[in-house]
Homo-oligomer: A and B are copies of this chain.
Amino acid sequence: MTATATAAEGRIVAADQELDTPCVVIDEAILHENIAEMAAFAASVGVALRPHMKTHKTPQVARLQLAAGAVGATCAKVGEAEALVEEGGVEDVLLAYPVVGEPKIRRLLGLMERARVIVALDSREAGEALARAMAAAERTLEVYVEVNTGQDRAGARHGAEATALALELARFPSLRVVGVMTHEGHASISQPEALEAAALEAGRALVETAAAIRSEGVEIAHVSVGSTPCSRYTPTVSGVTEMRPGTYVFNDNAAFRHGHLGPERCAARIATTVVSRPAPDRAVIDAGSKALAMDGSPSHAGHGYLVGHPAATIARLSEEHGVVVLPPDEPGFAVGDRHEVIPNHVCPTINLTDELLVVRDGRMVDAWRVAARGKVR
C-alpha cells in the first residue's frame, strides 16, 4: 500500500492541482513499490529479471529497474532499444523480435557498437540474412530461439520444431545460439483459475525444449519467460533462468483480472476532465481513444476504470471523447470535475503520450519524456 493516495477513493493527484488534461500521471511511490517487489521476487526464485521496456519506453523508469537489479532490458524493436541505450543506461538488451530487412540490420549493427544485443529469432530465413550481415561485419550475434508454447503468434513450436531450428541457426558461424524464450501470452489471457496451470505448462515446455537442444550439443544458457500476469508462476519452473515482465511497473485493468492487484497498485493514470454533461445518465470526459487507446479489458466493462466510481462505465470512446454512462445520482460529474482513469492496457496508452507527469504525495514533481514513444521500427 502507498501513503500517497490523496483521497479516500484512491486518486493520486491532489484535487487542487492545476493540471491541463488529459495527461498521464505516475505515482512515484507506487512505481517504486512495483519495481522493488518484482526485483525481490525474481531474486527469491533465483532468476534474472530482464524487464520488457515496451510498457514505459522511458529512460528514467529503465534506470530505476536497472538500479533494482535488472540484468538488462527486453525491447520489442530496434528503435526502442536505441532510445533506451542512448538515454536509459541500458547496456544489455534482448530484442524479443526478429530483425528483418537491410535497413534494420544496419541499425542493429550500430546498436551492437553501444550495447550487448541478443536477438530472438523464429525462422531460418531471418537467421540467414542476419548471419550474412554479421559475417560481413566480422561480428557474432547472440541469438535466442523464440519458442511457441501455445500462444500461436510467432515462434517455432516447442519440442522438435524449435530444436531443429536451433540446430539450423547454430550452424551459421556468425550466430551463437545462447538461449530460448517464450511469451506465454495465451496463459495470460486464460481464465484466472486456469492461469497458474497454463503458465507452468508453458514453462515446462520451454525447459524441455532447451534440454532437447542441449542434447544435440548446443549450449543453452538462458531459458527466458515473459508476461506480468504469469510472473508469479512461469519463473518458478525448474530450469527457467530469466523473466521478462513488462506491465508490472505500472499495472493496469488487465492486472485486476488476476485478482491480486487493485487500483492502489496502479501507478499510471490518465487525468481527465468532464467536458460535457448532456444528460443525467451521461457525461463526456476529455480522454478518448487518442489518450486511452482502444484496447478492451478482460475484467472490466468499458474503456478504463474511473477511480472511485466503480459503477460508472466508460462505455464508448471516440478520438477525443470518452462517453461515461452513470448510475442515478452519481456525484462528481459536473462540467469541470476531474477524474483519474486506470487504462485497460497501459502499454499502448503510454505510447500515445510524450511525457509522464510524476506525482509525489499528490503533487507534480517531475516530467519524464517517453523517449521511445512511437518507436515501432
| Residue ranges of A at the interface with B (Cβ–Cβ < 8 Å) | 18-23, 54, 76-77, 97-98, 100-104, 107, 122-123, 125-126, 129, 148, 152-157, 185, 273-279, 282, 284, 286-291, 293-295, 316, 318-321, 323, 334-336, 347-348, 351-354, 374, 376-377
A343 vs chain B, min Cβ distance (A):
12
A185 vs chain B, min Cβ distance (A):
7
| A374 & B354 in contact (Cβ 8 Å cutoff) | yes
Closest chain B residue, CB of each to CB of A283: B154
- Residues of B contacting A318 in the complex (Cβ-Cβ under 8 angstroms): 153, 185
- Residues of B contacting A185 in the complex (Cβ-Cβ under 8 angstroms): 318
The CA of A293 and the CA of B125, in the complex, are separated in Å by 28
Task: Apart from A152-B279, A320-B376, list 5 A-B contacts with CB within 8 A.
Answer: A21-B101, A101-B336, A148-B278, A157-B278, A293-B293
- Residues of B contacting A323 in the complex (Cβ-Cβ under 8 angstroms): 152-153
| A348 & B278 in contact (Cβ 8 Å cutoff) | no
- Residues of B contacting A294 in the complex (Cβ-Cβ under 8 angstroms): 293-295, 348
- Residues of B contacting A278 in the complex (Cβ-Cβ under 8 angstroms): 122-123, 148, 152-157
A234 vs chain B, min Cβ distance (A):
18
Partner of A153, one of B20, B102, B316: B316
A109 vs chain B, min Cβ distance (A):
14
- Residues of B contacting A354 in the complex (Cβ-Cβ under 8 angstroms): 374
- Residues of B contacting A293 in the complex (Cβ-Cβ under 8 angstroms): 289, 293-294
| B126 & A19 in contact (Cβ 8 Å cutoff) | no
| B123 & A289 in contact (Cβ 8 Å cutoff) | no
Question: Most chain-B CB neighbours within 10 Å: which of A157, A284, A319?
Answer: A319
| B275 & A320 in contact (Cβ 8 Å cutoff) | no
| A336 & B100 in contact (Cβ 8 Å cutoff) | yes
Per DSSP, chain A at the interface is loop
- Residues of B contacting A290 in the complex (Cβ-Cβ under 8 angstroms): 348, 351, 374, 376
The CA of A102 and the CA of B273, in the complex, are separated in Å by 12
The CA of A295 and the CA of B101, in the complex, are separated in Å by 28
The CA of A274 and the CA of B98, in the complex, are separated in Å by 10
Nearest first, the 3 A-B pairs at minimum CB distance are A20-B103, A294-B294, A125-B335
Partner of A154, one of B107, B148, B275: B275
Contact A154:B21 (CB < 8 A) given known A100-B335, A318-B185, A336-B129: no
A256 vs chain B, min Cβ distance (A):
19
- Residues of B contacting A98 in the complex (Cβ-Cβ under 8 angstroms): 275-276, 335
The CA of A100 and the CA of B352, in the complex, are separated in Å by 22
| B284 & A319 in contact (Cβ 8 Å cutoff) | no
Closest chain B residue, CB of each to CB of A270: B376
- Residues of B contacting A19 in the complex (Cβ-Cβ under 8 angstroms): 103
| B377 & A122 in contact (Cβ 8 Å cutoff) | no
- Residues of B contacting A316 in the complex (Cβ-Cβ under 8 angstroms): 153
| B352 & A351 in contact (Cβ 8 Å cutoff) | yes
| B282 & A152 in contact (Cβ 8 Å cutoff) | yes
- Residues of B contacting A336 in the complex (Cβ-Cβ under 8 angstroms): 100-101, 125-126, 129
Could you write out 24 A-B pairs with CB less than 8 Å apart? A20-B377, A21-B377, A97-B275, A100-B336, A101-B336, A122-B276, A123-B276, A125-B277, A125-B336, A153-B278, A153-B321, A154-B278, A157-B278, A286-B376, A288-B376, A289-B293, A289-B348, A290-B351, A291-B376, A293-B294, A319-B347, A319-B351, A352-B374, A354-B374
